[in-house]
Structure 1
């Protein structure tokens, strides 16, 4: 039984569908790694102010969840495009991840230097 969003169009080559799934899983691993980083920062008590540590941990957690959600949306959009014979959609997750990572890294750098 297929979800309604995947019923129209033609069945794509299984290699492309499986490649799309592998990409989805890679993004999920990235999201889990970000969440694991948040747990490590908070759990191991890195030598930062407690508030700063909490902000960085929450930021990493939010980013990890956003990556996981974005991975699901991206998987669905790519699958629909392949089924309908349309060009693949622009990967909006990548610019978001770059900007968010730079902002989190800059915040962490400021917190470490200001300490």
Structure 2
């Protein structure tokens, strides 16, 4: 049995799950406690360098899943969402995480606005 790689519900579930996991690990001591508990506390200073890009790329996956669920309404977000995720990752590391919470909340809000936009476009397409 083969599975469709671009199953929108599966992509949405994994994208949201990864984004929530990365956000929890970035903004709570959850991962620090776990890493220290297994004796790898020397790596805790480097966790954010991996977690923030993971968070932004998971949000890019969410954008792709939302686009697929909406029935391919508008342009494919794969390229621009990935470019924005890379740019946000570079920006947040460059400014040394000073505005990390604001940038992350902005990224979540942007994906929510995109979901609303896709839903409106889908609704308009169904009525015409």
Give the TM-score, by structure 2 length.
0.46
Which residue in 2 is equivalent to 1:108? 118
Tell me how many residue pairs correspond in the alignment: 83
Greater Rg over alpha carbons, structure: 1
State the shift of 1:66 in Å: 1.2
Which residue in 2 is equivalent to 1:53? 73
Aligned counterpart for 2:88 among listed residues 70, 82, 104: 70
Matching of residues 16-95 of structure 1 within 5 Å: 16-27=44-55, 29-30=57-58, 33-34=61-62, 37=64, 41=68, 48=71, 53-55=73-75, 57-58=76-77, 61-78=79-96, 88-91=97-100, 92-95=102-105
| Structure 1 residue ranges (4+ consecutive) displaced by more than 6 angstroms after TM superposition | none
RMSD (CA atoms): 3.3
Which protein, 1 or 2, shows the higher relative CO under an 8 Å CA cutoff with sep ≥ 6? 1
Give the gaps of 5 or more residues in structure 2: 1-40
Give the gaps of 5 or more residues in structure 1: 1-12, 79-87
Give the TM-score, by structure 1 length.
0.50
State the shift of 1:101 in Å: 1.2
